Chain A
Amino acid sequence: MTNTPVILTCELTKSYGSLAAVQELNLSVGPHRITAFLGQNGAGKSTTIKMLLGMVRPSCGEGTVLGKRITNAQENRDMRRKVAYVAENKPLYGYMTVEQTIRFASSFYSDWRTDVARRLLNEYKLPPQRKVKALSKGMRTKLALLLAFARRPELLILDEPSEGLDPVGIEHLLQMLVAQASEGVAIFFSSHQIAEVERVADHVCILDNGHLLVDASLDQLRQSYRRIDLVFASAPPEREFRIIGVEKIQTKGHQMSVFASKNAEAVIQRARDLDAVSVEVAPVGLRDIFLETVKEN
């Protein structure tokens, strides 16, 4: 197993006039893992993905996908053969039927798996003869996913793949992601479904205002983020807790709540040294990590 990143960017930047959509992004996405790409609407996720695929030209900086430079047209074509991509708006030809769309897509890819396409058509309950323009949003998403999952790519990039899907559809999507990952496919996907991300992802990147704020494994986040609720006999000594790893302190009367991205032990130790009446430590879920990180920025 090599550990060469499947996606690597160096100071990747995209500006639209005075608006910087993505700023000096240094991203390194490892192989053999599921990486989730989180951020609010307009954080720069889709712009980043489009730059990676060569669909949007970076203003400056550079990057490679599967070792191919994103700004080189020839290398870009080579790369696209090994990357399956599901776009955010699921662009499909409205005048084609489901069956025609699948046949059309299959003719482009040498890694196409007819058996998988047929199985998914069944599982997704897509009507083969219906025109794409007459599909519901959820069915459209399923068709776009089918076109990606029927291939055997080295890297799978999905932009908001769960949009429009009901809970059953989302569960099926996650199982497909796990199955693909089991076959050695690296997965990079953006999502707003934090609860789902928290289950399947190995690694999380949080983008806000074009900046990368968090780039860590979920195991690491689970083990290091803590909320420590303290009660003191007198006014809480807030200043004493401004140490490395403490991201936020809230005080209300005799109560103090500390949000720490690491170093929770030091906070607890300090609380005991300062005679806190009560010390309660709680883990922090990905939703709170995301919300706090984005708010602080």
Chain B
Amino acid sequence: MFFKLNPTTGQPLYLQLMQQIRHAAETGALRDGDQLPGIRTLAEELVVSPNTVAKAYSELEHDGLLELRQGSGAFVTVKRRTRSLTDHVQVARRRLRDLIEQLREEGLLDEEIKRAFEAELLYPAEIVSK
């Protein structure tokens, strides 16, 4: 599995790692029963604090997406529900594509659309998370 953490996006690294593992499970890049590297191995590979990996793993275990077995590592548990999320994401992408097409027709530049998306994404997330 390849993970890429960006320290300057304003999002904690453990959350980025969680999202990437979840995404990998939703797209099928990670299958049920697949083993993830140990905390130390992954921390050294990504050159991040081991606490970052430990926190991501333990939150994913709490969410039911990972099973941590004493001494033998972390295993992916993909339930049917996770699969249906993949379909959700695909439907959402189609809707997004339509919306972007529409905005382009209305004369917006890609850069403007991108900035508007980023601003909107940063805005409500902070209010919702309260």
Q: Is A10 an interface residue (CB 8 A)?
A: no
Contact A175 B51 (CB under 8 A): no
Interface size range on A against B = 20 to 34
- Identify which of residues 24-82 in chain B touch chain A, using a CB-to-CB cut-off of 8 Å: 39-40, 43-44, 47-52
Binds B, one of A116-124, A127-135, A160-168, A198-206: A198-206
How far is A171 from B48 in the complex, measured between Cα atoms in Å? 11
Q: Is A90 an interface residue (CB 8 A)?
A: no
Contact A182 B130 (CB under 8 A): no
Binds B, one of A75-83, A219-227, A233-241, A246-254: A219-227
How far is A34 from B13 in the complex, measured between Cα atoms in Å? 14
Query: How near does chain B come to A259, taking the closest CB pair, in angstroms?
Result: 13
Give how many A-B residue pairs fall within 8 Å (CB-CB): 82
B contacts with A: majority SS: helix
With known contacts A219-B12, A222-B12, A179–B40 Cβ distance under 8 A: yes
| Contact pick for B10, options A171, A179, A226, A265, CB 8 Å | A226
| Per-position 1/0 for A272-284, Cβ under 8 A of B | 0000000111111
Q: Give the A-binding residues of B (Cβ under 8 A).
A: 5, 7-14, 39-40, 43-44, 47-52, 115, 118-119, 122-123, 126-127, 130
Q: Give the B-binding residues of A (Cβ under 8 A).
A: 32-34, 171, 174-175, 178-179, 181-182, 195, 198-202, 218-219, 222-223, 225-226, 264-265, 268, 279-286
